[in-house]
Amino acid sequence: MPPMAANANIEESRSARFALRCAAWAERWFPDSWVFAALAVVIVTLATLAIGARPAEAAKAFGDGFWSLIPFTMQMAFVVIGGYVVASSPPAVRLIDRLALVPRNGRSAVAWVALISMLASLLNWGLSLVFGGLLVRALARRTDLRMDYRAAGAAAYLGLGAVWALGLSSSAAQLQANPASLPPSILAITGVIPFTETIFLWQ
C-alpha cells in the first residue's frame, strides 16, 4: 500500500474511533428531547409563579396553550403522512430503485442522498423525509458501495435541515403571502411578501 494511502487509512480510523466515542458518550449521557421539554415546562411554570401568577392561572395557561397547538399538530401530521403515502407508492418506489443505481461508491452515494433529499424538500418537506430514508434503504441493499450508513442517514435529513424553507411547503413563505394569516402588528411591518420573493430563491 502506498504511504499516502496508509496515512489516509490511519487518519480515517482515528476519526472513526473519535466519532464512535462521541456517539457512545451522547447516547449514555445526553438526555432525551422529552427531558428538555419537561424541564422547559417546569422552568416556565416557576417563572410565572415568581412574577405573581397564581397556580391555577399557570395551570390554565398551560392547558389552553397546549390544546391550541392541536390544529398545527394535525397539519404537520398530515404533511408527514402525505409524504409517506407519496414516497411509498409504486411509482415512487420504482423511481427510488432507479436512483439507487446511480452512485458508484460509498461517498458518491452519501452525496447523492443529500442532493435528492434537498431537491425533494423543495417540493414538500414531508416527502423529503420519507423519500430520502427509502433511498438510503435502497442503497443499503447494494453491497458493492461500502456506504457509511450513518452518513447516509444524516444526509437523508439534509433537505429538512437546509433548503425546505425555500420550497413550496415553506410555512413562513405561505404565512407571509397571506395577509389573513399574519397578526396585524407583523403585517404593518412586513406587509405581504409574495411567493416570487421567497420560493426557490437563494436567501
Residues in the chain: 203
Task: Please indicate, yes or no, whether the overall pTM of this predicted structure exceeds 0.95.
Answer: no
Across 116-141, average pLDDT: 95
User: Is it the case that residue 6 has pLDDT exceeding 60?
Assistant: no
- Shared domain for 141 and 193, answered yes or no, is no
**pLDDT (tens digit per residue) in 175-184:** 899 998 888 9
Average pLDDT for residues 69-95, to the nearest whole number? 92
Per the structure, the count of domains in the chain is 2
Co-location of 199 and 121 in the same domain: no
Q: Answer yes or no: do 161 and 175 share one domain.
A: no
Residue 49 in any domain: the answer is: no
Using alpha carbons, list the distances in angstroms from residue 90 to 5, 94, 128, 161, 165: 43, 6, 17, 27, 28
Please, which residues have CB within 8 angstroms of residue 127's CB and are 6 or more apart in sequence?
82, 83, 86, 87, 120, 121
Residue 113 maps to a domain = yes
Same domain, 101 and 187: no
What pLDDT, in 10s, does the model give residues 156-174? 999 988 899 899 999 889 8
Quote the domain boundaries for residue 182. Answer: 170-203
Average pLDDT, the chain: 89
Q: Is the pLDDT of residue 62 over 60?
A: yes
121 & 145 share domain: yes
- C-alpha 129, offset from chain centre: 7
